Amino acid sequence: MLEATLLLKKILGNSPHQKKIDDLEKLLAHLVESQENLKEAQKLSNIGHWELDLIQNSLYWSDEVYRIFGFEPQEFPATYEAFFNHIYDDDKEYVYKAYTDSVESKSIYNITHRIITAHGKLKFVEERCIHKLDLEGNVVKSIGTVHDVTQRVLNEKELELASNVFKYSTDSILISNAKNKIISVNEAYSKLTHYSREEVLGKDPKLLSSGWGDKEFYAKMWSEIANHGLWQGEIWDRKKDGTLYIAYQSIVCVKDKENKIINYIGIAHDITEAKNREKTIHQLAYYDFLTELPNRKYFEQEVEGYIKSSHYNHRKFAVLFLDLDNFKWVNDSLGHRFGDKVLIDVSKKLTNIVSSDSIISRLGGDEFVILAPYEDILTISKLASEIISSVKNPIVIEAKEINVGWSIGITLFPENASTFSLLLQSADTAMYEAKAKGKNNFKFFADEMNTFAKERLEISMRLKSAVTHSLFTLNYQPKYSCDEKKIKGVEALIRWNDEVLGFVPPDKFIPIAEEAGYIYDIGLWVMKEALSALKIIHKTNESITMAINISGKQLEMPNFYHDMTTIIKQMDVQPNKLEFEITETSVMKDIQNIIPILQKIKDFGIEISIDDFGTGYSSMSYLKKLPIDTLKIDKEFILNLENNEEDRAIVEAIIALSKAFGLNTVAEGVEKIEHQDILQRIGCDTFQGYLYSKPLTLESLLKFISEQNKATNEYKTGI
């Protein structure tokens, strides 16, 4: 008994079935030794003798009866009334009626009931008696026995409890004999495998084998069982209908006191769904959702790995930056659905062309990159030529012929650059040179290709003046609450219209501002301007919150928290009316250092959201650690939501993940009523996009809010 119990504790202590430890321990222990316990109890329990003389009203007890009740003979008057007083209160009526009915019917008396001993201990006893009759047939004496059956009753109750655990457990339980033939399964086993109890009795448990485990796997498993008495791990099994599933399984070898095997017990839990969710999240983190190629993060890790290893193996490689010519025409003329099919088609062509030691990745849109090791530079030229030739003939999709081409820029490590960012930048520059030379062409990077660099330099110089003189403006895009059917907040969006460069998009000047060190001052200006606008907005609607984009570079600055809290206090704005949006990529770049500052911000009362979620590389473990409130689903997954099943599956996965972590969700890029209907159906909390409003100036926003308030009031009053 002790060995089986300790073994079971060892198993369950490390398994995901921890919550069932107590009940399953009872199950295993009693299945093995219940019969031995019962026999042992019978050996240890003596039987007492008693006689009740009805004529003289005297009661005789043997020494064993006194022992059972815990009395010495001189301490207890041997009368029926004294005996009756020590019967458990709830059993007195039952015992009295059973005895009197026995006397009246002159039949044998045999019952089990509870008593209270001299020391207040509860016991179970079994009483039997026969009656002695006089010549006239009247009962004159009752002669009987008292048997202490406490241990037997407790064992039976424990065995019944163990049986219920076995019967009602949600985990599949299988018990086989020493020859590994199934002798019992519970209902959960049948529910999981679709095999009935009758179908598997006497069979070997390997009838569930999927064929996915090799001989080495099973040999190691049985070695663990033989040497340590248990095995735990994940295993592929097959249901009766042929469906494969993944189970987390514990197999224990149960032995008797002589160390002989008497049973094997298997406890299994279906983890297929959890594994599928894990696979989906991993796919989302490291692979492009459309083409299933590695994404930018994966590619960056591989390039940096090659760079590090080059210090000792001196291996050279090229980075090819590919941009699909005429792709914008495909999207504009035939729609995004056709565009997606073109991207899938060309990605398959690229996969078939590149060698096994190369890595191909989709950066986004129609941009692809390839890492290609080489010894002779000619092999890279041949590779680029083959890629261009792969789309020489039109691509046929749904009976439509689509003509595209490749513009390819090539940079070499270490000749042209020695870091990932510089390699990508120089390859991108070479690609634009190829486009400028007539497209459908490839170019190697050269020092004279400075057009891109000059443009960035000019932006950087003009940006310095814009920061100095605060030449930016803010627009505000509303966020719409699905449940409340009203505006719940707005997002502040920076705009820069330079007198020389004209309008410069944020995605063009913000990266330059980060690299040039201007982003911190720009961020403080945005915060002051947004808070000033929020105070004006609150005169129209006090419930509206303000979302402000925060750069990862800002969070890295040691004075950020102090400066941020100082501005908020000076502007007299409640922190709970603010939300900081931080891109997934910027968080993950330095997550260990960013988590503490995010926690301080959250403790101050400001909500935190992860922006553009799904385009980066967050893992579930990091999401659990991050002190965040909201995930914003990137618009790339929303724009074709009604037509693209992959997009819809990813959005559903993100929303399910958010709910699992207790987070809110915001969908960006909601432009169609179909987007709204799908998102609302799968549980998205908040929408943002042109379906509700484009980014507005403060004046236009106040008018928009006023109209929304009026519409809401009219709806409530029924006007």
3-state secondary structure 313-369: HCCEEEEEEEEEECHHHHHHHHCHHHHHHHHHHHHHHHHHHCCCCCEEEEEECCEEE
CA distance 712 to 549: 29
Sorted by where each begins, the domain ranges of the chain are 2-33+155-270, 46-148, 282-449, 472-717
What pLDDT sits at residue 57? 78
Higher-pLDDT residue of 160, 39: 160
Q: Which amino acid is at 35?
A: Q
Segment 265-291 mean pLDDT: 78
pLDDT in tens, 284-330: 677 888 888 999 988 999 999 999 888 777 888 999 999 998 888 88
pLDDT in tens, 601-654: 999 999 999 888 866 555 566 777 889 999 999 898 999 999 989 889 999 999
CA distance 696 to 478: 8
Domains 46-148 and 472-717 share a fold: no
Right CATH for 282-449 from 3.30.70.270, 3.20.20.140, 1.10.3720.10, 1.10.340.30: 3.30.70.270
What superfamily would CATH give domain 472-717?
A: EAL domain (3.20.20.450)
Q: Residue 482 to residues 159, 490, 637, 680, 694: CA-CA distances in angstroms?
A: 54, 15, 19, 7, 18
What pLDDT sits at residue 29? 47
Query: pLDDT class for 452, splitting at 50, 70, 90?
Result: low
pLDDT in tens, 652-662: 999 998 998 89
State yes or no: pLDDT of 256 exceeds 70.
yes
What pLDDT sits at residue 367? 93
What's the angle, vertex CA 251, arms to CA 245 and CA 252, rounded to 5? Answer: 170
CA distance 86 to 117: 7
Write a three-state SS string for 406-438: EEEEEEEECCCCCCHHHHHHHHHHHHHHHHHCC
State yes or no: pLDDT of 378 exceeds 50.
yes
Summary mean pLDDT of the chain: 84
Phi, psi dihedral angles at 179 (to 5 degrees): -90, 10
The DSSP 8-state label assigned to residue 287 in this structure reads B
158 is written with which tokens? 């424990």
Segment 94-120 mean pLDDT: 90
What pLDDT sits at residue 712? 64
Segment 101-125 mean pLDDT: 90
Instruction: With CA atoms as reference, report the closest residue to 48 among 129, 105, 120.
Output: 129
What pLDDT sits at residue 616? 57
Higher-pLDDT residue of 169, 21: 169
Sheet holding 109-116, edge to edge: 58-61, 47-53, 139-148, 122-133, 109-116
Segment 197-221 mean pLDDT: 80
Percent of the chain topping pLDDT 90: 36
Segment 481-487 mean pLDDT: 86
Do 297 and 286 contact (CB within 8 A), yes or no? yes
For the domain made up of 46-148, the CATH class stated in words is alpha beta
What pLDDT sits at residue 601? 95
What pLDDT sits at residue 11? 47
Cβ burial of 365 (10 Å; 0-12, 13-18, 19+) is: middle
Do 240 and 144 contact (CB within 8 A), yes or no? no
Most confident range (mean pLDDT) of 64-73, 445-454, 671-680 is: 671-680
Segment 166-171 mean pLDDT: 76
267 is written with which tokens? 């406890």
What pLDDT sits at residue 319? 95
Q: Which residues contact 421 (CB under 8 A, 6 or more apart)?
A: none
Q: Which amino acid is at 149?
A: V
Q: Which residues contact 400 (CB under 8 A, 6 or more apart)?
A: 334, 338
State yes or no: pLDDT of 354 exceeds 70.
yes
What pLDDT sits at residue 4? 43
Judge: domain 2-33+155-270, CATH 3.90.870.10.
no
269 is written with which tokens? 């839990």
Percent of the chain topping pLDDT 70: 87
Helix (H, G, I), strand (E, B) or coil at 139: strand
Strands (E), 157-284: 172-177, 182-185, 230-238, 244-255, 261-270
Cβ neighbour number for residue 103 with a 10 Å cutoff: 16
State yes or no: pLDDT of 41 exceeds 50.
no
Looking from the CA of 285 toward its CB, the CA atoms found within 13 Å total 15
Q: Which residues contact 511 (CB under 8 A, 6 or more apart)?
A: none
163 is written with which tokens? 């049986």
Segment 150-177 mean pLDDT: 77
692 is written with which tokens? 């509700």
pTM to 2 decimal places: 0.44
State yes or no: pLDDT of 551 exceeds 70.
yes
